[in-house]
Amino acid sequence: MEKEMIIVLDFGGQYNQLIARRVRECNVYAEVHPYTLSLDEIKAKNPKGIIFTGGPNSVYGEDSPRCGKEIFELGVPILGICYGSQLMSYLLGGTVETAPVSEYGRTEVDVNPSSVLFEDVAEKTICWMSHTDYIAKVPEGFTITASTPVCPVAAMECPAKQLYATQFHPEVMHTQEGMKMLSNFVYKVCGCKGDWKMSSFVDDTIKAVREKVGDGKVLCALSGGVDSSVAAVLLSKAIGKQLTCVFVDHGLLRKDEGDEVEAVFGPEGPYDLNFIRVNAQERYYSKLAGVTEPEAKRKIIGEEFIRVFEEEAKKIGKVDYLVQGTIYPDVIESGLGKSAVIKSHHNVGGLPSVVDFKEIIEPLRLLFKDEVRKAGLELGIPENLVYRQPFPGPGLGIRIIGEVTAEKVHIVQEADAIYREEVAKAGIAKDLGQYFAGLTNMRSVGVMGDERTYDYAVALRAVLTSDFMTAEAAQIPYEVLFKVTSRIINEVKGVNRVMYDLTSKPPGTIEFE
Ligand code: XMP
């Protein structure tokens, strides 16, 4: 049976993947495509519905993204959002003008509950607006179904042609009943039944990978992070021993992390794949000796990773495919026909040029982080790995301010393990975006057991963040900080002072370097 799908046509807005994700939350598969997708390509996909996204342009702009109006004759239901609603109006003969008053943010909207789009939605509902243009006159055959005091057409529709439009963004969280509206569109307008689940994604991807790879060889750079782990397990379920995972232990991982990765992916673990662990600790420490400048450290760690991987890849010989755990937030460009830029280093952006392969496989590139985690659970990956907090590619190398040495790595690993243990015991881990211990490059005088000490200061950091672009320091309970401090000073040799970093981002960054 063919799977139901909704096409999200991308007109350059910020929330395009979010729209697709919300549709998937309704258990209907959705894909984002550039607005330049041809009518034939659209027909070939046999969508149950199409959603036009928002975008930063004005429909009258010379270079504004526009599709042809033949799309409205396909007989496929369409929902236009923000710019997409204005485009629908413009193409069908309505008028769009610069609004006398722009609307940004939470806005109370009066909706007509007899519209199928607003079934079960309150007559006055809070929606997220972000526009300077608005629809001044709806096209013939359309009726207005929502408005605000300054936006006469906050929604319009022509049910006979199955065309719907909202000036506001139903996909963002701030539109309180947005999910209901999207669900109404998908189920009541498009007639979907909801045949998509994360397990379907997993099954379909396994099938597609099998078909694509045939009996070819696949290579994966495994970091032990959530994304590369989920990608590796997916591939191993699809092609088993045709997959080789190379895990480079650069000596800058958290305490015991290398062994934990090996326990899951190595020969004793549950997966049937070829696993190579490269213990490159000494090699990294000698390259990093004497280097203090943060960017120089990052560069050395990144380049060394490529060298080590290259050496291993040479031993394996020619491979057909390289797997990358790229996820949607790593795909910088919005899909307007431009190729995706892959995050450097951690997701092995530097690798393709050093490995001889036919193609890159990115099985997770349409998913958000929490969707990747769901896929991981679906695949039976242990929870502690699936819910691992983000860890930068350069690892502890950028949590040790100044020169990196084996001794300093040991100190940070021990201090960080204590911090994580106490945070877990206090039951506050799930509230924190990211938290870790770092090592300042400062030594200070202390006294322990009547003896003078001259040791390092450890800095603890914990931030609240949802996007990692901005963050604020978390208010960790004082008792927890106190316990962590006392344990670190007592248990970690070489540390006589512990500090808590209260800096937000901006002006700080989450990592120290
Ligand atoms: P900053 O320090 O820039 O970090 O506020 C934001 C988020 O990015 C992570 N981070 C990295 N991740 N490779 C990565 O894969 C890197 O080089 C890197 N540097 C920072 C950081 O842990 C935080 O989650």
Mean pLDDT of 222-244: 95
Percent of the chain with pLDDT over 90: 77
Asked about 82 being catalytic, the answer comes back as yes
Mutate to test the pocket of ligand 1, among 297, 463, 510 (most ligand atoms within 8 A of CB): 510
**Ligand 1 centroid from CA 392, angstroms:** 5
Q: Is the CB of 509 under 6 A from ligand 1?
A: yes
Is there an atom of ligand 1 within 6 Å of 438 CB?
no
pLDDT of residue 265: 95
> What is the pLDDT at residue 224?
87
Q: How far is the CA of 395 from the centre of ligand 1 (A)?
A: 9
pLDDT band at 473 (very low <50, low <70, confident <90, very high): very high
What pLDDT, on the 0 to 100 scale, is given for residue 440?
Answer: 97
- 305-333 per-position pLDDT tens digit: 989 988 998 899 889 999 988 887 665 33
In angstroms, what is the span from residue 376 Cα to ligand 1's centroid? 22
Please indicate whether residue 169 is annotated as part of the active site. yes
User: Taking a C-beta distance cutoff of 8 angstroms, is the pair 285, 248 a contact?
Assistant: no
Looking at 26, 103, 158, 169, which residue is catalytic? 169
Q: Which of 32-46, 52-66, 337-351, 423-437 has the lowest mean pLDDT?
A: 337-351
Whole-number Å distance, alpha carbon 18 to ligand 1 midpoint, is 22
pTM, to two decimals: 0.78
Q: In this structure, which residue's CA is closest to atom 14 in ligand 1? A: 392
Q: Is 2 strand, coil or helix?
A: coil
Measure the CA–CA gap between 217 and 510, rounded to whole angstroms.
38
DSSP 181-241: HHHIIIIIIS-------HHHHHHHHHHHHHHHHTT--EEEEE-SSHHHHHHHHHHHHHHGG
What pLDDT, on the 0 to 100 scale, is given for residue 3? 81
- Say what the pLDDT of residue 17 is: 85
Residue 453 has pLDDT above 90, yes or no: yes
Ligand 1, atom 19, residue with closest C-alpha: 392
Is 171 noted as a catalytic residue in this protein? yes
Angle at 370 between CA 367 and CA 373, to 5 degrees: 90
The pLDDT tens digits of the residues spanning 32-66 come to: 899 999 999 999 999 999 999 999 999 999 999 99
